[in-house]
Amino acid sequence: MASSAASTASSPHDTSLPKLVGAAVVGAPLVAALFVWALALPNIDLYSLGDYGLTTDLPVGWYVALSVCVVGTVFHACVGSTRWAWAYLLGVVVVLFATLPLLVEQPHYSWVYKHIGVVRFLEENHQVDPSIDIYNRWPGFFALSAVFGSAGGQLNPVKYAAWSELLFTTLNLLILAGIVRAIAGSRRIAVAAGLLFVAFNWVGQAYYSPQAMTFFGHLVIVWLVVTQLNRNTPDRGGRAVLRLASRIVRRPQDPALPTGHRWMPSWVAVLAVLLIHAAVVASHQLTPYLLVLEVGALTLLGLVRPRLLVLGLLAMALAYLAPNLDFVKHNFGLFSSLNPFSNIERPSRFNVDPVAGKVWSERAGEALIILMLGGAAISTLVLARRGRGTRALVLLVLALAPGALLFGGNYGGEAVLRLVLFSSPWCAALIAWALMDVSSNSWRLALLGGGAVVASALFVPANFGQEELRTLPLDEVRASEHLYDDGRTPAVVMLIAPPGFAPRYGPRYPEFRHANLLQDSRFRNRPLGPADVPAVAASMKKYAPRGYLVFSTTQNTYANVFRVTPPGALGSLEAAIARSPRFRRWYRGSDTRIYELLPRSEVTTPTRSAKRSAAPVTRPPAAPPAPRVRPPSLLPAPSPLLFPPSPPPAPPPAPPRLRPRAPFYDLR
């Protein structure tokens, strides 16, 4: 007869096999979803998108994969295993943010290339030049990227920048989970908050940029503050708020704040906060002040200690701003307006009349903002009705604090984007908590599932709805590389209609000035042709005696989509430019044509036969290009990267470098 010991002392195989089978069953949908997603990728053509961007051109398989991952996250967050919930959530992140990098190597968003240009400038020159632009004055992120590129073997950031969204979103989820778990006390609520955070965060600020890095640093600081420096109960200010909340919802609030997640001495947490804040201060202009607002609000309500911490954060930010204050005031202004309603608007460069697809994309983003803010407000009341107002107050304060930004300025028209970015994690946490804080599994599934599906459905058009404007053809990047490598200076790079092309991409970008033709209203909303050539030349001459006028596919698309010019206007203009003796075709590729505006002394009248003959793809300049003296490198020589390396020219004495005025600047 088998002894009880034998029956209980089962071999490892007997207990692990059911577990393996169970894991296979639970994980199969995730694996299948990612497999379907991978199969769908070759069916996506980023270069032939319609008016609705990627939204209508994504294959059904892509949507199926996303849906399975979202539903899987919801299911496991509500009733299953939180580990599998995280696995499915990572599947959501992969589907959303690994699709584009796997399709094209070059990163999307034309504005990422100016960040790459700064990094390449530092890699080449090994030193910042604060007179160039604001990036050289807040160089933390760019210096780190330059060092990373050097350590990685002269990596051009264009090779890895496309993966930034995947990396930073994953890092942000890691920290957000810790914060939400500490406050709400539940792993399930933490993963649900992560899912909603991903869906609400349509503003696309996790791309290769100082903001992405400092946003992560900001989350870590908030995590340290609310888990290691929080008080057991709020002090007088916080208790007053809670008494008011109790009267409104007619329910007393539990005054206790969670303190069970402390694992380091307070002084260590303060030191860590200050250290990380120092890196944030040196990397981004805005994030330090948002941190001051958030930590300051928590301190005012007596939710965190020590009180002096917020003064330390503010002092560091102001101390760094002080030597740069004149530059900021002269080029951008410190405060644009105290009117929050005007600051929340996103002024367009043009009076645009976009096609229906762009309107739909914009409305989807607005709907997400309303859903996020409205949902957070309702969730706060719901949580207060359940007596959880004290802990919810922490999240509410964090969500509201960035709103103070609207009383200072519009941050180049991007105040609302930053507001969404910095509020989204806390709004997501409040909503997830309220949705999950029900006793019935069915209700929990229905509420969280409904919210997640709606938010995810809106995310796709909001985030991907303008992809035909954001994914640059490889030829435009190559053309930019050639321009900044071999273009003669001093010169202006005149774009037609940004976003488009890859401006300021090369390490010589400070030697060029930059302008946009259609910013001049004389060229908008009417046909263009030979009569406009002198005016185009005159516009360029205002900046420099020589210039490069760039026509490209992405810019044409922008002008058509937003109806800045009538159909065919840019084509007519380009044809006239090509025939003009004032211009010489400098580059011709599959998606880009660059015309060089010649100084008066170099203008000739070519014969008809000479005009008809095809120009070379790249025309060597008549005079030697401005030389770049590459300092000796201690690292191995780079292998060919995205573009074939050009041989270094014989180094004549370097001419003095032009210090352009601060270029047309987009504070991203």
* Interaction site with other proteins (CB under 8 A): 122, 126-128, 139-141, 143-144, 146-148, 150-155, 159-160, 171, 174-175, 177-178, 213, 216-217, 220, 223-224, 227, 261, 263-264, 268, 272, 275-276, 278-279, 282-283, 631, 634-641
Terminus-to-terminus CA distance in the chain, angstroms?
A: 76
Nearer to other proteins by Cβ, of 213 and 393: the residue is 213
CB of 148 vs other proteins, minimal distance in Å: 6
Nearer to other proteins by Cβ, of 228 and 380: the residue is 228
CB of 297 vs other proteins, minimal distance in Å: 22
Nearer to other proteins by Cβ, of 82 and 343: the residue is 82
Count of CB atoms situated within 10 Å of the CB of 329: 11
CB of 585 vs other proteins, minimal distance in Å: 33
Q: Give Cα separations from 615 to 181, 230, 594, 657 (angstroms).
A: 64, 68, 12, 30
CB of 549 vs other proteins, minimal distance in Å: 33
Nearer to other proteins by Cβ, of 174 and 615: the residue is 174
Nearer to other proteins by Cβ, of 640 and 656: the residue is 640
Half-sphere exposure of 171 (CA within 13 A, CB side): 16
Token pair of 356 as six digits:
């229906």
Taking Cα atoms as reference points, which of 395, 386, 456 lies closest to residue 202?
456
Nearer to other proteins by Cβ, of 28 and 275: the residue is 275
CB of 372 vs other proteins, minimal distance in Å: 24
Answer yes or no: are the C-beta atoms of 222 and 272 closer than 8 Å: no
Of all helices (H) and strands (E), which one includes residue 596?
strand 592-597
CA distance 77 to 71: 10
Residue 349 DSSP SS3: coil
Nearer to other proteins by Cβ, of 178 and 365: the residue is 178
Strand order in the sheet with 546-552: 512-516, 491-495, 546-552, 592-597, 583-588
Residue 255 DSSP SS3: coil
CB of 653 vs other proteins, minimal distance in Å: 20
CB of 177 vs other proteins, minimal distance in Å: 7
Bridge-based pairing state of the strands 491-495 and 512-516: parallel
CB of 135 vs other proteins, minimal distance in Å: 11
Taking Cα atoms as reference points, which of 260, 261, 259, 245 lies closest to residue 387?
245
Nearer to other proteins by Cβ, of 127 and 259: the residue is 127
Taking Cα atoms as reference points, which of 543, 416, 507, 606 lies closest to residue 156?
507
Q: How many residues does the chain have?
A: 668
Answer yes or no: are the C-beta atoms of 123 and 154 closer than 8 Å: yes
CB of 262 vs other proteins, minimal distance in Å: 9
Position of tokens 């939400």?
180
Of all helices (H) and strands (E), which one includes residue 664?
none
Taking Cα atoms as reference points, which of 60, 67, 78 lies closest to residue 30?
67
CB of 266 vs other proteins, minimal distance in Å: 13
Nearer to other proteins by Cβ, of 210 and 547: the residue is 210
Nearer to other proteins by Cβ, of 279 and 352: the residue is 279
Taking Cα atoms as reference points, which of 182, 15, 175, 173 lies closest to residue 88?
173
